[in-house]
A and B are shown apart, each in its own frame.
Chain A
Amino acid sequence: EAGVVQSPRYKIIEKKQPVAFWCNPISGHNTLYWYLQNLGQGPELLIRYENEEAVDDSQLPKDRFSAERLKGVDSTLKIQPAELGDSAVYLCASSLGGRAGETQYFGPGTRLLVL
C-alpha cells in the first residue's frame, strides 16, 4: 500500500514568489493534516481536514497561506507571497478518521528554501 505522497520534495524560490505543495493521503484516510517543521524543531500543525472540511485552521497564517481539499482526497497548500522565514519542511499526514489515539502517517515532506 502506498504511503502519503508529497510533491515536490524540494523547492527553491525567491521571496515574494508563490509556491504550492501537493499531498495525496493514504487511500481511505478521511483526515489530512499539514504541518510546518522548522530546523531543529518538531512539527507544528497548520491545518486539519476532515474530508473536504477544514476543521482546525487556527494556526494557519491566513494572510499568505491557503489550503484546499476540494474532493476530500488530495490537498494543496499554497503560500503567496513567500517570505524568507517560510523556509522549512512542510509535512503532510493522514489518518483514518481523526479520532483520538489514531496513528497519523506522515509523508516525506517538501523542503522549501526561500532566497
Chain B
Amino acid sequence: SQQGEEDPQALSIQEGENATMNCSYKTSINNLQWYRQNSGRGLVHLILIRSNEREKHSGRLRVTLDTSKKSSSLLITASRAADTASYFCATESGYSTLTFGKGTMLLVSP
C-alpha cells in the first residue's frame, strides 16, 4: 500500500528554474526521505528529514516537513537537465520499513 502521495504527478520546467514537489502522508512517522529514480534505473537516496525537524538543506535541495499537516515538500533550486527523473517521498514509521508514494516525474528542458 502507498502511504505518501506526491503532487504534482508530473512537472515540466526550464533549466535554471526551481522545482517544487509535495508529499502528503497519512500516519505518524519517524522520518521522511526523498529518493530520485532516473529512467530504467534504481532509486538513489537524496535526503532524510526526521519528524522533529522542520527544514533541511543539501546542496541545491531543500526539504520541509510539517507533521501537523502530514506533508513535506522538496525544492530543487536552479534545475539542470540532469535533474530529469522521478522523485519519490518515502515515510518510515516502523523499524526501517519505508513506504513510498507514487512519485513526481520531473522534466527539465535545456
Which residues from chain A sit less than 8 Å from chain B, CB to CB?
Answer: 4, 31, 40-45, 48, 56, 91, 93, 95, 98-109, 111
Contact = CB atoms under 8 A, between A and B. Distances in A.
Given A100-B31, A101-B92, A106 B98 contact: no
Contacts of B40: 108, 111
Interface in B44-101: 44-45, 48, 50, 88, 90, 92, 95-101
30 contacts: A4-B42, A31-B96, A40-B103, A42-B2, A42-B102, A42-B103, A43-B43, A43-B100, A44-B1, A45-B97, A45-B98, A45-B99, A48-B97, A95-B96, A98-B95, A98-B96, A100-B30, A100-B92, A100-B96, A101-B48, A101-B50, A103-B48, A104-B45, A104-B98, A106-B35, A106-B44, A107-B42, A108-B40, A109-B42, A111-B40
Question: Which of B44, B50, B92, B95: most chain A CB closer than 10 A?
Answer: B95
A43 B40 CA distance: 13
Contacts of A99: 96
A44 B103 CA distance: 13
B42 A42 contact: no
Interface of B: 1-2, 4, 30-31, 35, 40-45, 48, 50, 88, 90, 92, 95-103
Nearest to B46: A103
Contacts, number: 63
Given A44-B1, A56-B97, A91-B43, 18 more contacts: A41-B2, A42-B88, A42-B90, A42-B101, A42-B102, A42-B103, A43-B88, A45-B97, A48-B97, A93-B42, A93-B43, A98-B96, A99-B96, A101-B48, A103-B48, A104-B45, A106-B42, A106-B43
A15 B29 CA distance: 39
Contacts of B98: 45, 104
A27 to B, nearest CB: 17
Question: Which of B4, B45, B90, B101: most chain A CB closer than 10 A?
Answer: B45
B41 to A, nearest CB: 5
B37 to A, nearest CB: 8
Contacts of B45: 103-105
